[in-house]
Structure 1
Amino acid sequence: MAKTPQTAFAAFELPCACDDLTIEITRWLGHLRAERRLSPKTLEAYSRDVRQCLIFLAEHWDERVSLARFGKMEPGDVRAFMAARRSDAIGGRSLMRALAGLRSFARFLEREGKGKVGPLAAIRAPKVGKTLPKPLQIASAKRLADPDERAGEDRDTWILVRDAAVLALLYGSGLRISEALGLKRRDVPAPGKGDTLIVTGKGNKTRMVPVLQNVLQLIADYVAICPHRLAADGPIFVGARGGPLNPRIIQLTMERMRGALGLPDSATPHALRHSFATHLLSRGGELRAIQELLGHASLSTTQIYTGIDSERLLEVYNTAHPRA
């Protein structure tokens, strides 16, 4: 039996669902992990969404949900579930993901000849407003990467330097936090020995990004005082006990620093990546180049992500197009 991406890849279990349905959900999640290669976070979210739907349906129908009963779901049942989630103050983006997960499961059942769940296709996805992360000021982004800003904290010096190095990397190279923490020691050149990194992004795709020498120096300073052995094929950024560094540690660091520096709640690790793109664009960076640096498959993603207005797009077009 396939395993799900939950803790230790345990089989999907839920008291309100019958065994035949939980078996198919387990197989579906295993398929998404092995064949579709979805990220662990997406798989966890899909598993959670399906679980919440089954809990609702069991109460809504006043019976355990079997595979056959799930296949008889009507559009009104789906709308009732979406309305219940909306009443719990769930945003449009989360509702859209939940519907996408349920549709994915329905398509899996159809391919496997286990029934059809047509009502899921009949429900329109909720509208989601386009929200943009707010970039930080250049001076603020630089201060976040300065270990001296946290000199008064009761923490080991190597941890302060480590956190500053990670934040400097997020802003200096526009990395996602998972990409920065996924770097092996061998991936990072010493200062003066290189100026690029090969990072692994979404979908296991690799790309080359530039890295500033002062960022490499900050990483080298951290490596020099880190009390743990950093193997060449192991993560370069480690936690207090020497294991892989948890992204939550960097998120908490940002929370503490934005309070000390008087920054808004929008100052998150991801905001540093957005700041990288926005500051490059404001200084004449080309949209295509920024797309490559960010690792976006679509130029439209970069356009939305960096908050470019139509006037700026026309300027880029007129500057770059050979017939302009």
Structure 2
Amino acid sequence: MSEPALPPLYAQHLARDRRRSVHTVRAYQATAERLIAFLQGHWGKVADRAALATLTAADLRAFLAHRRAAANLTNASAARELSAVRGFVRFVTGEEAPRLKGPRVKKGVPRPIAPDEAVALAEEVADEAGEPWIGARDWAVLLLLYGAGLRIGEAMGLTGAILPIGDTIAVTGKRSKTRIVPILPPVRAAVERYVALTPYGVARNEVLFRGAKGGPLSAAVIRRSVRAARVRLGLSDRTTPHALRHSFATHLLGRGADLRALQELLGHASLSSTQIYTQVDAAHLLDIYRNAHPRA
């Protein structure tokens, strides 16, 4: 009897044993399928369990070069692909994949995190969590920062009173000022999944996000996880939880959001605090111009 296809087995493991999101399972299975297809052409033989046990760093380097050429991957996407490959090889062989230094990005002036980098960062943090419910928690927290523009302290201060989540939530920010923040469906789904998985329950008058031992989640835990994930993905050391909020604002402004509306969404006391994003957006556009325009 032929061996069952390995990528679907890996997907089942991620969904059943690791309880990963549908998006992550689909993405990781696709990466595993691409790796198998590439190696079979690269080696000229079937890439089964025995063959994968002989995988070398040179093989992985060739695969990443192939993927970069085929899909024009950013550094963050390439690093994410490598992370998925490592998980697949570990599942199939029971051993760690050969060590290979992931792609890195040059450090430069502060700039927004690109959407694919923001998602890759959140997924990397969630996938490295020790428990499925902790992964769901970290994913929900980071989506609240990037998808709703919350400060990390504001996310830590949320209570069970926001449940069940509708189209908006009330957020208490600096100087105890409360604002209404729209919640996108993916953000709502992330919070609901965390609530369904947390072993500690969620009381209306208690904090929403819990630490591993049941106490209130510390912002330092999220910052530490983000630092580790950005190293694995080769992202700049300016990629912080607060940078996700920064990107939320810049991306909205780039899509035509009104400054006054953005001020309300971010909870800024004055418009001058919000106007800094017009400068950042202009700098970002100039950077794109210089890199892309043939006469620049």
Which of the five TM-score ranges fits, normalised by the shorter chain? 0.5 to 0.7
The one-letter code sitting in structure 1 at the alignment partner of 2:137 is R
Deviations 1:42-99 (A, max 9, x none): xxxxxxxxxxxxxxxxxxxxxxxxxxxxxxxxxxxxxxxxxxxxxxxxxxxxxxxxxx
Give 3-state SS (helix, strand or coil) of 1:237's partner. coil
Contact 1:179 1:199 in 2 (8 A): yes
Deviations 1:245-297 (A, max 9, x none): 00000101110111121110000000000000000011111111101100111
1:307 shift after superposition: 2.9
| Aligned residue number for residue 143 of structure 2 | 168
1:301 aligns with 2:273: yes
Q: How does 1:1-324 map to 2 (within 5 A)?
A: 133-146=110-123, 150-151=126-127, 153=128, 155-190=130-165, 194-305=166-277, 307-308=279-280
Contact 2:121 2:229 in 1 (8 A): yes
* Distance in 2 of aligned mates of 1:270 and 1:178: 10
In the alignment, structure 1 segments of 5+ residues that lack a partner are 1-131, 313-324
Deviations 1:190-213 (A, max 9, x none): 4xxx11010000000100011111
Distance 1:304 1:239, change over 3 A: same
Distance 1:205 1:150, change over 3 A: closer
Give 3-state SS (helix, strand or coil) of 1:134's partner. coil
* Distance in 2 of aligned mates of 1:134 and 1:310: 11
Give 3-state SS (helix, strand or coil) of 2:145's partner. helix
Give 3-state SS (helix, strand or coil) of 2:180's partner. strand
Distance 1:159 1:205, change over 3 A: same
Contact 2:160 2:207 in 1 (8 A): yes
Distance 1:242 1:289, change over 3 A: same
| Aligned residue number for residue 56 of structure 2 | none
Distance 1:150 1:184, change over 3 A: closer
**Larger-Rg structure:** 1
* Distance in 2 of aligned mates of 1:303 and 1:196: 24
Question: Higher RCO, 1 or 2 (CA under 8 Å, sep at least 6)?
Answer: 2
Deviations 1:116-169 (A, max 9, x none): xxxxxxxxxxxxxxxx8531001111222336x653x36011111100110000
TM-score between both structures, scaled by the size of structure 1: 0.51
TM-score between both structures, scaled by the size of structure 2: 0.56
* Distance in 1 of aligned mates of 2:186 and 2:282: 35
Contact 2:129 2:135 in 1 (8 A): no
In the alignment, structure 2 segments of 5+ residues that lack a partner are 1-108, 285-296
Aligned residues: 177
Distance 1:143 1:309, change over 3 A: closer
